[in-house]
Amino acid sequence: MLQETLAQAAASGGNAASALTQMGPLHLLREMTGDPGAYIISWVVLLTLTLMSVLSIYWIVMNFIKNVRLRGTSDRVISTFWETPNAQDAIRYMEEQSRSEPFSKIALDAAQAAAHHQRHEGSRLVESLNRSEFVDRALRQAVTRESMRLESGLTVLATVGSTAPFVGLLGTVWGIYGALIRIGASGNAGIEAVAGPVGEALIMTALGLFVAIPAVLAYNFFVRLNRVTNNKFDTFAHDLHDFFATGARVGEVPAKQ
């Protein structure tokens, strides 16, 4: 009797140990590769999470590079513009900046609006909008455009962060459902029959969280950086409005004509 009990315990321990070896990601991948038809939903979930992860990483890298460049050039561009004594030289400097530099584009839009308004003095344009209103409208459009460009990719990060856990959960629910069907068909409800399929199914939830967490953290991080940059946009736009509407920033004396 004792020997039979020990033998059953040893067999049970061996089955449990064997079951643990069937709960890893590699075993799941082998199972999915061996019988793709039975794991079609799992394949769809896995490919969807992979695509989400690739898109998330791409936009994290792109936004990080963009913000690093912006923080490295914005103060220099703004200070150089205001420190250049000649307005034409300052505008020429802005024209020399890269196409991705937003502050120079805002300044150029304001300068072009002021020049356009001046060229049409005496026309119906000047009668309907004074110089200050015309420049202000151009600055609002420029700030809105650059703010939208600054937010590129954030929608993807927000979508990945909010939906990836549910995509992984779908894979888990479907995996457990399939595991229960196979267990019911085999009539074996031992640990060696349950642990492997259920463990494999739970991997999908872990993958969903693994994809979602970096996306959520990156989204919050970039939203904070963009808020600071948008405040810079507004401050620079206000100074530009004063400059092109009156000929000087607030606190400066306009140059005598």
Domain-embedded: residue 8: no
pLDDT grade, residue 166 (50/70/90)?
very high
Cα three-residue angle 52-202-61, rounded to 5 degrees: 25
Residue 61: HSE in the Cβ half-sphere, 13 Å Cα cutoff: 6
The answer as to whether 185 is a domain residue is yes
Range 92-117 average pLDDT: 87
Structural domain span for residue 82: 24-245
First to last CA, the chain: 113
Q: What is the tens place of the pLDDT at every residue in 34-86?
A: 555 556 777 888 899 999 999 999 999 999 999 998 888 888 999 988 888 88
Q: Which parts of the chain fold into alpha helices (H)? A: 2-20, 25-34, 40-83, 87-95, 102-119, 124-128, 131-150, 154-186, 191-246
- 8 confidence band (pLDDT: 50, 70, 90): very low
pLDDT at 210 over 80: yes
Q: Tens of pLDDT along 223-251?
A: 999 999 999 999 999 999 888 877 666 55
In a domain, 160, yes or no: yes
* Count of domains forming the chain: 1
Structural domain includes residue 164: yes
Residue 138 lies in a domain: yes
Instruction: Give 125-151 pLDDT, tens digit per residue.
Output: 555 667 788 888 899 999 999 999 999
Any domain includes 141:
yes
The answer to the question of residue 255 being in a domain is no
Indicate the average pLDDT of the chain: 79
Q: What is the dihedral of CA 148, 152, 157, 162, to 10 degrees?
A: 40
81 lies in some domain? yes
